[in-house]
Amino acid sequence: MLSQMKMNGRKNGHTALWITGVCLMVVMGACRPRGSAALQDFTRPVYEPVYAVGFEIMGAKGRQSTILKTTRPWQGTSGEETALFIARNGEPTPAGFTGQTVPGGAGRIVCMSSSYVAMLAELNATDRIVAVSGLAYVSNDSVASRRETIAEVGYEGHIDYETLVAMAPDLVLLYGLDGMSPMEAKLRELGIPFVYMGDYLEAHPLGKAEWLVAVAEMLGDRAAGEAVFAELVPRYEALKARVDSAEQAFAKTVSDADGAAAAAVFRPDVMLNAPYGDSWFMPADGSYVVCLIRDAGGHYLYERNRGTRSVPVDMETAMRLTSEADVWCGLGRIATLDELKRLLPNMAGMPCVAAGRVYNDDKRLNAAGGNDYWESGIVHPDWVLRDWIKMLHPELVPEEEFVYFRKLE
């Protein structure tokens, strides 16, 4: 009997120890963060852009964290990619991840371009902006009203890193031109997370605007970005459809012309820009502005530039193109027809000048010369397209006023 009691005691002791161990494992598992997902697990698209080609948002099964990839971080890149891990729910950065990491819901943001200010404004998140580059040139009213509390950090090559650090940012939105930003090495040294924004490289106007979804993901509210963008698309497409319908109707009235000939008559020839030094830069045929011209029912005169960047042409070529133009747009700092004739006397007699069909995108300049066209225009491609239609086919939008453009008087 005694030996049986001893044996039962040992069994009960072993059982108690086993139960205690299991309980400790459960408690410890509940208290510590979930284990890291492997980097290769982040292959599930959580947002697939419709118009943008420069970013993607990836997730992993059972994880709330995401990876935002910038697949075209700067001009001329081939296979280059940068990434931002947006950590949520205490989930650690995957082993082997070499990009940047930021907690989901970044609350203190530095904008190195005013277009990022516009994206945050569309998401009702300008209160998260703690510093910008070129504060005086920002047009947004919310930012302008807080200029005493928002820091100016300077421009690439001349960044005030002391001020930048003092603002304790969660994230810096920056860009690269022909390579990585000069800021990257210093930001890494300071431990300040950053992300490359490739919106300026998008060829489609809606592609530029779609980057606000990527910004919303960084804020922790992708759904808000998707909702804003979803409202933009039908407005833009409806305007384009209005132009397409008008072109088709016009073609039917030209019974003795084929479709190509009718299109040539319907679509005004468009010349862009003005001299910069001794050169005149002409955008690529597949660029953002040329997409707008085509969607508005126009024809871009310099189709031979099939690259991805603007190229300089000599003055002789520029004069020939301008002489063929029905509409001339984007004259930089030239504000009036008299100024145009004084600065470019050889252009004074051009048909488009004589007809008064010369326009500039400077209707919304602030006191410092900041141009809202390059700010809010990025997230309102429908307004920009409507302006272009008003320049090329004013009969299609007779009730509308220009938002960003104006006719030179």
pLDDT at residue 260, as a whole number: 66
User: Tens of pLDDT along 307-321?
Assistant: 888 999 999 999 999
**39-220 and 252-407 in the same fold:** yes
Beta-bridged to residue 406, according to DSSP, are 360
The low-confidence residues of the chain, meaning pLDDT below 50, are 1-33
pLDDT at residue 349, as a whole number: 93
Domain extent listing, the chain: 39-220, 252-407
Question: How much is the pTM?
Answer: 0.88
pLDDT at residue 122, as a whole number: 98
pLDDT at residue 175, as a whole number: 95
pLDDT at residue 50, as a whole number: 97
Calculate the alpha carbon distances from 382 to 210, 222, 366 in Å: 13, 22, 22
> What is the CATH architecture assignment of 39-220?
3-Layer(aba) Sandwich (3.40)
The CB density around residue 115, as the number of other CB atoms within 10 Å, is 23
pLDDT at residue 98, as a whole number: 94
Judged on CB neighbours under 10 Å (0-12, 13-18, 19+), 362 is buried
pLDDT at residue 308, as a whole number: 81
Q: Which of 246, 248, 267 is nearest to 396 (CA)?
A: 246
Determine the CATH number of domain 252-407: 3.40.50.1980
Which amino acid would we find at residue 8? N
Residue 292, token pair as written in the block: 């707008």
CA angle (241, 406, 371) in 5-degree steps:
100
Which residue do the tokens 């009969």 mark? 395
pLDDT at residue 256, as a whole number: 57
pLDDT at residue 289, as a whole number: 97
Q: Which of 126, 124, 186 is nearest to 158 (CA)?
A: 186
User: Tens of pLDDT along 172-208?
Assistant: 999 999 889 999 999 999 999 999 999 999 999 999 9
Calculate the alpha carbon distances from 336 to 269, 272, 352, 371 in Å: 22, 16, 14, 17
